[in-house]
Amino acid sequence: MSRTVFFRILIISVLSVGCIESNSLPYYNSPDFNPLFLTQKEAEKKIDHKIDSFVLKNQNGQEIGLEDLIGKIHVANFVFTQCASICPIMTNNFKSLEERYEKNEDFVMLSFSVTPWIDSIPKLKSYTKDYEIKKRNWHFLTGKTSEIYALARTSYFAEENLGFTKDSTDFLHTEHVLLIDQSLRIRGIYNGTLPLEIKQLSDDIQLLMNK
């Protein structure tokens, strides 16, 4: 996400504090990530965007789908095992979330492979061993490229250029991390390469848990 977008969201957030509880997280209903500060009751009427249904396989060969996420908080990022730039940084930063919420069954971590034609189940399993991943519900997911890319772009809005829809065949490579609430609504977007933003994400997860 560009610095301009972050500053715009920050400014709107500050201006909205007087209307909604100061510890509330915004809702995001469109790819431009215009933050909407609403009560939960208002959100039920005004927020129609939710994560779409999917079924993919994790590093253990288990099917993971929407039914595993309903009623739980989850975060999502998009990586690939042969990435030597932002992906190792994001995975290492995610380790801090794993450490804080390892035993919490109501918090799920999803790392979607953007090269599923390369990232087989055994390769993802090897990747998790390399990073000593322990959290039982941190799922590294593989499956059909078209399904993963559609989820990334139309459900999670995880595109590099926010507000613009790329062709579904264009390669997806982004540092964005998305926070999704128990009702499958987007509640936050973060730069997964920056420790300070991951710290904010970690605190926002706790905020949703306290609701």
Residue 18 has pLDDT above 90, yes or no: no
Residue 39 has pLDDT above 90, yes or no: yes
* The pLDDT of residue 210: 92
Least confident stretch, 15-24, 93-102, 130-139, 183-192 = 15-24
Q: What end-to-end distance do the CA atoms of the chain give, in Å?
A: 27
The mean per-residue pLDDT over the stretch 79-97 comes to 96
Smallest CA-to-CA distance from 204 within 184, 189, 191, 185 is with 189
* The pLDDT of residue 211: 80
Query: Is the residue at 133 inside a domain?
Result: yes
Domain extent at residue 186: 50-209
Answer with the residue of higher pLDDT: 36 or 170. Answer: 36
Query: Is the residue at 45 inside a domain?
Result: no
* The pLDDT of residue 24: 86
Instruction: Indicate which CATH number applies to the domain containing 180.
Output: 3.40.30.10
Please state whether beta strands 73-79 and 63-65 pair in parallel, antiparallel, or not at all (unpaired): unpaired
Query: Is the residue at 36 inside a domain?
Result: no
Query: Is the residue at 120 inside a domain?
Result: yes
pLDDT in tens, 173-194: 899 999 999 999 999 999 999 9
Grade residue 23 by pLDDT with cuts at 50, 70 and 90: low
Residue 59 has pLDDT above 50, yes or no: yes
Query: Is the residue at 194 inside a domain?
Result: yes
Distance CA 169, CA 166 (A): 8
Residue 168, token pair as written in the block: 């579904």
The mean per-residue pLDDT over the stretch 33-51 comes to 96
Q: Which amino acid is at 141?
A: L
Computed over every residue of the chain, the mean pLDDT equals 89
Query: Is the residue at 37 inside a domain?
Result: no
* The pLDDT of residue 100: 96
Residue 195 has pLDDT above 60, yes or no: yes
* The pLDDT of residue 164: 47
Smallest CA-to-CA distance from 97 within 208, 210, 206, 207 is with 206
The answer to whether the CB of 158 falls within 8 A of the CB of 78 is yes
Query: Is the residue at 72 inside a domain?
Result: yes
Tally of domains in the chain: 1
Residues 6+ apart with CB under 8 A from 137: 68, 105, 107, 108, 109
Residues 6+ apart with CB under 8 A from 33: 1, 5, 9, 157, 162, 163, 189
CA dist 88 to 82, 91, 92, 175, Å?
9, 5, 6, 11
Rama region for 184: left / alpha / beta (φ>0; ψ in -120 to 50; rest) = left
Query: Is the residue at 33 inside a domain?
Result: no
* The pLDDT of residue 159: 77
* The pLDDT of residue 168: 58
Answer with the residue of higher pLDDT: 13 or 127. Answer: 127
